[in-house]
Amino acid sequence: MVADWSSLPTDLLSDIATKLETIEDFIYFSVVCRSWNHASSSIKHSWKGARVPWLLLAENKNENPNFIRKVFSLNNNKCYKLNLPEIFGARCWGSPYGWVAMVGRDLSVELFNPITKVKFHFPSCKTLSHPLEYFDRIPYDEDYYHWVLQRFLQKLIVIKVSKGDHQEFVIAALYDFDRLALARHSDQSWTSVFIRKYSVLIDLVSVDNYVYGLYDDGDIVFWNVREFLGGELVKAMEFSPHKLEIFEFFAEVTMRPSRYLIQSGSDFLMVIRDRQVVANSDYDDYNYDIVYQTNNFKVYKLNPKAKKWEEIKDVGSVALFVGRNYSMSVSVTVSECLRSNCIYFTDDEYNLWDIETDFGGHDMGVYDINSGERCRFYVGDDTRSSFCPPIWFIPDFRV
């Protein structure tokens, strides 16, 4: 007699689903049949299994009629194929909330969940304020899209805001090197946020309805974005730690280091990424090949009492994730596959992504903070792209 697994009681199936440890197993469970999907849907908001970052790999434009996009899971070192026509041709940024923020070729901005396919529309990039009317250029050509998606926009960061029982996701746009704007999906245009004119805001994190930003000189700015749900922002406050000597040498290096702000437990970390450019000796102005790679990272912890950034070699039982995404700290206890005291990095050197002989995406791996050793976590031919190399995001079917 063949067992009819679809006829198992819903309560029993729900109990089984709650005990699944990984999101991959939960998704497999939910697609077995209609009754199993119903049981998993009834408890998905209370499911507390491990959510390990996925790597959304580069877009394959050739021979891809079904718009298949691969994701790589660190939890089991496996790739999965997803049908994602919604993000085809878009520039994307990852987040820890299940969302991918993306900008399409029509300059539309959206939050998209690659698992549930839920999508929220945000104001177009055309409503970002700027003293020069860049967006009056009609008709748009390929060079224009290339400039907006690769040069004008540096980063889209997803922020979770709560006010009472109301919860909403806000997008922060870092653009034009020295500008910041916020938007909700119900807005018609972006709200510009004033930042210092003589410094560049390079990364943001959100903690308990506050957003903290890192300037390129190591200073911190923060404000309460909960008031943004009411239509306004409280005045930004600034915190200026003593300057690190390393900042004095940034102008002398070949490539300007990337810096990331990460909230890990109760600590704020600043991660500095040093790269090296290697050029062929026989190149000229019209025919050249450029290869760049990450040499090392330095990690600093903010000591607020002493107003200092202090270098550390141990971040504890966490792994840090940096690149074209919300800079994240993830506990290694959620998966045996994650390495503690390591930095998982993807390629975010967008200034060189349009080099046709190399493209971007190759500069990624795992860096051991204590030993300085580097290694690869993924080997494949689907990492290169001139506009959207691989990004980290934490999958979530609850949003």
For the segment 38-63, what is each residue's pLDDT rounded down to a tens digit? 887 877 777 777 788 999 998 876 66
- Give the other-Cβ count within 10 Å of 204's Cβ: 22
Q: How many angstroms separate the CA atoms of 212 and 220, rounded?
A: 7
Q: Say yes or no to pLDDT of 134 above 60.
A: no
Q: Say yes or no to pLDDT of 132 above 70.
A: no
| The pLDDT of residue 270 | 96
Q: How many angstroms separate the CA atoms of 377 and 398, rounded?
A: 28
Bigger pLDDT: 59 vs 326: 326
Residue entry with tokens 């330095």: 298
Residue closest to 354 by CA, chosen among 288, 299, 308, 303: 288
CB 135 within 8 A of CB 141: no
| The pLDDT of residue 246 | 73
pLDDT 10s digits, 189-239: 998 887 777 788 889 999 888 899 999 888 999 988 887 777 777 778 888
Q: How many angstroms separate the CA atoms of 176 and 195, rounded?
A: 13
| The pLDDT of residue 262 | 97
3-state secondary structure of 216: coil
Predicted TM-score of the model (pTM): 0.89
| The pLDDT of residue 60 | 72
CA distances, 318 to each of 139, 207, 354 (Å)? 48, 18, 34
Bigger pLDDT: 29 vs 319: 319
Per-residue burial over 168-187, b = 16 or more CB atoms within 10 Å of its CB, e = otherwise:
bbbbbbbbbeebbbbbbbeb
Bridge partners of 193? 180
| The pLDDT of residue 139 | 57
| The pLDDT of residue 178 | 77
**Residue 320: which pLDDT band, with cuts at 50, 70 and 90?**
very high
Q: Phi, psi (5° rounding) for residue 61?
A: -80, -20
> Region 156-178: what's the mean pLDDT?
85
| The pLDDT of residue 281 | 44
The rounded mean pLDDT for the chain is: 83
Bigger pLDDT: 231 vs 344: 344
Q: How many angstroms separate the CA atoms of 28 and 46, rounded?
A: 18
Q: How many angstroms separate the CA atoms of 51 and 105, rounded?
A: 31
Q: Say yes or no to pLDDT of 346 above 50.
A: yes
The tokens of 330 are what?
Answer: 């993830």
Q: Which of 137-146, 216-225, 317-326 has the highest mean pLDDT?
A: 317-326
Q: What percent of the chain has pLDDT over 90?
A: 37
> Region 341-366: what's the mean pLDDT?
81
The tokens of 67 are what?
Answer: 């718009």
| The pLDDT of residue 282 | 46
| The pLDDT of residue 137 | 56
pLDDT 10s digits, 85-129: 999 889 999 999 999 999 988 889 999 999 989 999 999 988 887
Give CA torsion, residues 200, 391, 353, 282, to 10 deg: 110
| The pLDDT of residue 286 | 39
3-state secondary structure of 336: coil
CB 318 within 8 A of CB 340: yes
Q: Say yes or no to pLDDT of 1 above 60.
A: no
CB 80 within 8 A of CB 312: no
| The pLDDT of residue 251 | 53
Q: Say yes or no to pLDDT of 141 above 70.
A: no
Q: What percent of the chain has pLDDT over 70?
A: 87
Residue closest to 345 by CA, chosen among 271, 276, 269, 265: 271
Q: Say yes or no to pLDDT of 397 above 50.
A: yes
| The pLDDT of residue 284 | 44
pLDDT 10s digits, 241-264: 888 877 766 655 556 788 999 999
| The pLDDT of residue 356 | 56
CA distances, 266 to each of 240, 307, 357 (Å)? 19, 16, 44
Element (H, E) at 366: strand 365-368
The tokens of 145 are what?
Answer: 């899209």
| The pLDDT of residue 5 | 67
Q: Say yes or no to pLDDT of 68 above 90.
A: no
